[in-house]
Amino acid sequence: MTLSPGTKVRIKTMAPLGHIRTPHYLRGKTGVVERVLGPFKNPEQLAYMVPAPTRTLYRVRFEMGHIWPDAEAPQDTLDAEIYEHWIDQDAP
Amino acid sequence: MPHDHHDHDHLSPSGHPYRKDNDGQLTYWQTMEIAIRELMVEKGELTPAQIQAQIDAMDARSPANGAAVVARAWTDPEFKQRLLENGSDAAREMGFDIGPMHLVAVENTSDTHNLIVCTLCSCYPRNLLGLPPDWYKTREYRSRAVREPRAVLREFGVELPADMTLRVHDSTADMRYIVLPARPEGTENLTAEDLAKLVTRDSMIGTGLPKAP
């Protein structure tokens, strides 16, 4: 199921080893789907030249004040590209 | 930040540090690249001329490509709409080969400023801007642009008003970003060609603003 823009999502806190595309500073953080970028082959497997499943890629927008409690301008935002398997859809 | 020199012990007469010579041993991956390249040439898969042509094509790309796209967007509202909806197609329409990359253009307005970074490595819209500047790839820029972006912008000479929203874009996967700067005031009578001369590389990364006419 593809998430629609505006959906609130939380990034998983997992910490697998290897070639990972979700930066540490966003793990466990909550953001909002800004747009759906479409299906891409998962680069976390492509990097090892093993068969890579297709995953939906999203742009997720986070508030700076949520990522960094001491942010100079908490209303500023950070957008990052997040693959669907990094989104914790069971999170409240 | 772009001009900070931490090692003041080894300055050239011009006041700049000497760059360390790169005459050490080849790394494992450098050796591997040379071996594979030579093998491919030997087996007739590639010619040295093809390799040189690709290097030349990569070196020929410059911020002038991006500036032409920006100037077109400033003067052609329908193109601007297409650029914001699908940056890759809009760039292709202007004859810029985008390759497999997907381009997202983000627009600066009177209340929004955008800044591009790649915290994981050095993703950069090379087809439109050429090779990234050295500072773009440093750990310092990559970490501080997401941690304290307004402080970084001040070091680049860009002071954002408190009521302006700053949107930082971390290119973590398959997208490449270009900032569509706001058109400078007093440029109503300029042609797209003249407007393009005002568009700097940094204004398309978000660390700068276009030049005044």
Residue B100 maps to which CATH number? 3.90.330.10
**Tokens at residue B125, please?**
């819209």
**Tokens at residue B34, please?**
């040379």
Rounded to the nearest 10 degrees, what angle do helices B48-60 and B28-42 cross at?
130
Chain A residues with CB inside 8 Å of B166's CB?
64, 73, 76-77
| Residue B6, pLDDT score | 54
Q: The whole model's pTM is what?
A: 0.89
- Gap between the Cα atoms of A23 and A42, Å rounded: 15
Which pLDDT band holds residue B93 (cuts at 50, 70, 90)?
very high
Of B148, B165, B171, the CB nearest to A77: B165
Q: Are B65 and B199 in contact (CB under 8 A)?
A: no
| pLDDT tens-place string over residues B182-207 | 999 999 999 999 999 999 999 999 99
Burial A16-49 (b: 16+ CB within 10 A, else e): eeeebbbbebbeebbbbbbebbeebebbbeeeee
Mark whether B48 and B119 lie in a shared domain. no
Q: Is ipTM strictly over 0.90?
A: yes
Contact criterion met (CB < 8 Å) for A57 and B165:
no
The string of DSSP letters for chain B reads -TT-----SSB-TTSPBPPPP--SPPPHHHHHHHHHHHHHHHTTSS-HHHHHHHHHHHHH--HHHHHHHHHHHHH-HHHHHHHHH-HHHHHHHTT---TT-EEEEEE--SSEEEEEE-SSS----HHHH-SPPGGGGSHHHHHHHHHSHHHHHHHTT----TTSEEEEEE--SSEEEEEEPPPPTT-TT--HHHHHTT--HHHHHTSS-PPP-
Mark whether B111 and B53 lie in a shared domain. no
Nearest Cα of chain A lies from the Cα of B10 at a distance, in angstroms, of 36
Mark whether B73 and B142 lie in a shared domain. yes
Of A23, A76, A79, the CB nearest to B149: A76
Mark whether B186 and B104 lie in a shared domain. yes
Flag whether B4 is in a domain: no
Catalytic positions of B, please? Answer: 118, 121-123
Which pLDDT band holds residue B101 (cuts at 50, 70, 90)?
confident
| pLDDT tens-place string over residues B66-91 | 999 999 999 999 999 999 999 999 99
Nearest CA in chain A to B167: A77
Average pLDDT over residues B97-106: 87
Mark whether B36 and B108 lie in a shared domain. no
Q: Are B98 and B126 in contact (CB under 8 A)?
A: no
User: Beta strand B165-170 with B175-180: parallel, antiparallel or unpaired?
Assistant: unpaired
- Gap between the Cα atoms of B4 and B62, Å rounded: 25
Q: How many domains does chain B have?
A: 2
Contact criterion met (CB < 8 Å) for A21 and B171:
no
Mark whether B131 and B84 lie in a shared domain. yes
Mark whether B76 and B51 lie in a shared domain. no
Domains of chain A: which residue ranges?
Answer: 8-88
Flag whether B177 is in a domain: yes
Q: Is the pLDDT of residue B97 over 90?
A: no
Chain B residues with CB inside 8 Å of A22's CB?
172
Mark whether B45 and B89 lie in a shared domain. no
Flag whether B192 is in a domain: yes
Which of B146, B148, B172, B179 would you mutate first to test chain A, the one with the most A CBs within 10 A? B172
Mark whether B87 and B132 lie in a shared domain. yes
Mark whether B146 and B43 lie in a shared domain. no
Where does A8-88 sit in CATH, by number? 2.30.30.50
Which of A19, A81, A87 would you mutate first to test chain B, the one with the most B CBs within 10 A? A81
Task: Enumerate chain B positions whose Cβ falls within 8 A of a Cβ in A.
Answer: 102, 104, 119-120, 146-151, 162, 165-175
| Residue B3, pLDDT score | 53
| Residue B140, pLDDT score | 97
Domain that holds residue B32: 28-59
- Partnered with residue B176 across adjacent β-strands are B103
Flag whether B123 is in a domain: yes
Mark whether B41 and B67 lie in a shared domain. no
